[in-house]
Chain A
Amino acid sequence: MAENKDSDEILLPKFSEADKFIHQSARLKLISLLYVIEEADYVFLKNQTGLTWGNLSSHMDKLEEKGYIYVKKEFKEKKPQTTAKLTKKGRKAFEDYRQKIKKMEKMLKMADSN
Chain B
Amino acid sequence: MNNEKLSLKELEKKAYRSTFQDGIWDIYLGIIILGLALSTIGTLFGLPSIISMLIILPLVYSIGIAILILGKKKITVPRIGYVKFGSKRQRRKKELVIFLSIILIINLIIFLLSNFEIIDIKGLFLLNIIIIVMPLGIVAYLLDFKRLYIIAFLIGIGIYFTIELQDILGFPLSPILIFGCIGIIIVSWGLYYLINFLKKYPISNQNLE
Indicate, yes or no, whether A interacts with B: yes
Binding site for B on A (CB under 8 A): 23, 25, 28, 32-33, 35-48, 53, 57, 80-83, 98, 101
B186-209 contacts to A, CB under 8 A, are 201, 204, 206-209
Binding site for A on B (CB under 8 A): 2, 4, 6, 8-9, 11-12, 14-15, 18, 78-87, 201, 204, 206-209
When distances are taken between beta carbons in the complex, the residues of chain A under 8 Å from B6 are 28, 32, 98, 101
When distances are taken between beta carbons in the complex, the residues of chain B under 8 Å from A38 are 84-87
A47 touching B208, Cβ below 8 Å? no
When distances are taken between beta carbons in the complex, the residues of chain B under 8 Å from A36 are 8-9, 11-12, 15, 86
Between B4, B11, B82, B208, the greatest number of chain A beta carbons within 10 A of the residue's beta carbon is seen for B208
Measured CB to CB, the closest approach of chain A to B80, in angstroms, equals 5
When distances are taken between beta carbons in the complex, the residues of chain B under 8 Å from A37 are 12, 15, 83-86
When distances are taken between beta carbons in the complex, the residues of chain A under 8 Å from B81 are 40-47
A57 touching B15, Cβ below 8 Å? no
Measured CB to CB, the closest approach of chain A to B83, in angstroms, equals 4
Measured CB to CB, the closest approach of chain A to B52, in angstroms, equals 39
| Identity of the chain B residue whose Cβ is nearest the Cβ of A57 in the assembled complex | B208
Bound-state Cα–Cα, A40 to B11, Å: 14
B11 touching A47, Cβ below 8 Å? no
